[in-house]
Structure 1
Amino acid sequence: MTVTTATSLAARIAEAACVSDAFTLVDGQVLDSYFDEYRLAADPQLLHDVADAMALLVPEDAEVLAGIELGGVPLVVALSAATGLRAAFLRRLPKRYGSKQQIEGSGVEGRRVVLVDDVVRSGGQLLAMARMLRVSGAPVTDALCVLERPLGGRLLLNEHSVRLHPLLTEADLSTGKGAAS
């Protein structure tokens, strides 16, 4: 991806998905702006272009892309289409009816799985999913996201041998530069 293309994509993402308004995180912390991944996912051309850019970040030995509910699901579907890799869908908790599964879609046991999510803040959600996949027999060493916010996620993931590959950082959105350039 060229610098011009990355800058243009970052500007399009910022315009579509960055909202200046109070946003309360699970831990009670209040942010003055947030990234609305649903606005990105609702724009088919932008979602396609983000998936194409994220495809460049997928490790060569990846076998399955695993999207975390709910924000990672549209991303993993688009990224699967862009790369030709199989997709799995991860629930925070096992489904209480029907299949009663926590992992849906492609099987993961013994396959090299890469996690996919929209935003990484503290990294707790990705770490929990990496642990669950590892218990299920899937080696997980990498995670992709559209946006990395500087709230400790990278450090936490590194401590547990998960490399984070963000398409953009929060600084990229304010300057219009993409991390994939």
Structure 2
Amino acid sequence: MTTSLARRVYETCHLAGSFRLRSGQVSAEYFDKYLFEGQPGLLREVAEAMVEELPECDVLAGMEMGGIPIATVLSQLTGLPTIFVRKQAKEYGTGKAAEGGPVDGRRVVVIEDVVTTGGALLASCRQLRAGGALIDTVVCAIDREQGGRENLAAEGLRLRAALSRRDLESSLSA
């Protein structure tokens, strides 16, 4: 991770105001990851930084919705297949929670954009594990450093992040 990448991500996606997070917490700042995910060059640079955090695995699992574009670029960079994980299983068609291929008995790394408390990740990892996925690592673009790492660790999941809140904030003074 370079300071210049952290600065560009911060300048692109940091918003100030009052924001309700998925966790229910209210924050005075928000990292709108869609602002960097919509920029092809910056998305690729973030994904390249995330490649360095990937352990050996068989499949990438992109979390709906922000993890999907990142997982897709990671798949292009690494040649690894990707599945796409829904927040809820479809109530029609195949009724799957994860689309794109099998996970049973495969080493899966879950890909997320921003991690705050890890609540959505925990639910999805449980669901994937119930389908036979072998998961011990989650890789994210930004760790907000608000308890996600510890919450994931409590369920045997290691969080690796390309960027942390600290990286983003310290890039402004560098």
Coarse TM-score class (shorter-chain normalised): over 0.9
For 1:164 and 1:27, locate their aligned partners in 2 and report how far apart those are by CA, in whole Å. Answer: 17
1:17-59 Cα distance to aligned partner (Å, 9 max, x none): 1111211023432101111111111100001111111111100
For 2:153 and 2:102, locate their aligned partners in 1 and report how far apart those are by CA, in whole Å. Answer: 25
Q: Residue type matched to 1:26 in 2? A: R
| TM-score, with structure 2 as normaliser | 0.94
Aligned to 1:22: 18
Off by >6 Å, runs of 4+ in structure 1: none
1:47-98 Cα distance to aligned partner (Å, 9 max, x none): 1111111111100x21100011011111110111111110010011111223
Matched, 1:11 2:7: yes
Q: Residue type matched to 2:122 in 1? A: L
What are the residue-to-residue correspondences of 1:99-110 with 2, within 5 Å?
99-110=94-105
3-state SS of paired residue (1:46): helix
| TM-score, with structure 1 as normaliser | 0.91
For 2:116 and 2:39, locate their aligned partners in 1 and report how far apart those are by CA, in whole Å. Answer: 23
1:159-181 Cα distance to aligned partner (Å, 9 max, x none): 1110000111111101119xxxx
3-state SS of paired residue (1:62): coil
3-state SS of paired residue (1:20): strand
- Unmatched runs of 5 consecutive residues or more in structure 1: none
Q: Percentage identity across aligned positions?
A: 43
Which of 93, 96, 101 aligns to 1:98? It is 93
Instruction: Give the number of aligned pairs.
Output: 172
RMSD: 1.3
Aligned to 2:80: 85
